[in-house]
Amino acid sequence: MKIIYVGNPILRKRSKEIGVFDDSLKSFVEKLTEVMYTEDGVGLAAPQVGVLKRIIVFDDGSGTKTMVNPVMLSFGEETVVMEEGCLSVPGVYADISRPVSVRVRYQDVYGDIFEEMLDGYSSRIVQHETDHLDGKLFIDYISHGKKIAVRSRLIEIMKGNV
């Protein structure tokens, strides 16, 4: 299992819902979590290892969390700017504005349904990771001026210089 980088068309595709909660799902989640920690990430989405399934794992500092089929039910009105990076866009960091809080519905590896109100760091990570499931990357939110500044780095990544 390996991280794929910006420029790989898989990162721009929509991932598929999980309908079967079996042992292979659990072992996939374990491997995905392992890759996240090995790569020093705080979050990782299945498409980032080339698997188009709606699964994210993250650790906001309070332990590993897994969300299967996460759905954003609503966003808070207030927004906040935070610096983001991404294992699939190595070496690029940018200030991104997103809603402070989000209400999310998801399933665990057993298929049980949960609903949670998140804010702060966990909200930010879940918004970033769930974007991956819809083929979106944080660099899509970068303002035009700043995009010019990161363009040369993006070209380097796409050439394979990660």
Provide the annotated active-site residues.
Answer: 129
Report yes or no: 19 and 4 within 8 Å, Cβ to Cβ.
no
In the list 32, 36, 86, 157, the residue contacting Zn ion (rule: CB under 5 A) is: 86
Instruction: Please report how close the Cβ of residue 29 comes to Zn ion at its closest, in angstroms.
Output: 17
Contacting range for Zn ion; rule: CB under 5 A; set: 21-29, 50-58, 83-91, 94-102: 83-91
User: DSSP per residue over 120-151, as a string?
Assistant: HHHHHHHHHHHHHHTT--GGGGS-HHHHHHHH
Structure tokens at 141: 């939110």
Which parts of 58-77 interact with Zn ion (CB under 5 A)?
none
Nearer to Zn ion, 21 or 162 (CB): 162
Instruction: Please report how close the Cβ of residue 132 comes to Zn ion at its closest, in angstroms.
Output: 6
**What is the C-alpha to C-alpha distance for residues 136 and 41, in angstroms, rounded to an integer?**
18
Nearer to Zn ion, 68 or 86 (CB): 86
Measuring CA to CA, which residue among 36, 60, 37, 61 is closest to residue 46?
A: 36
Residue 46 contacts Zn ion per CB under 5 A: no
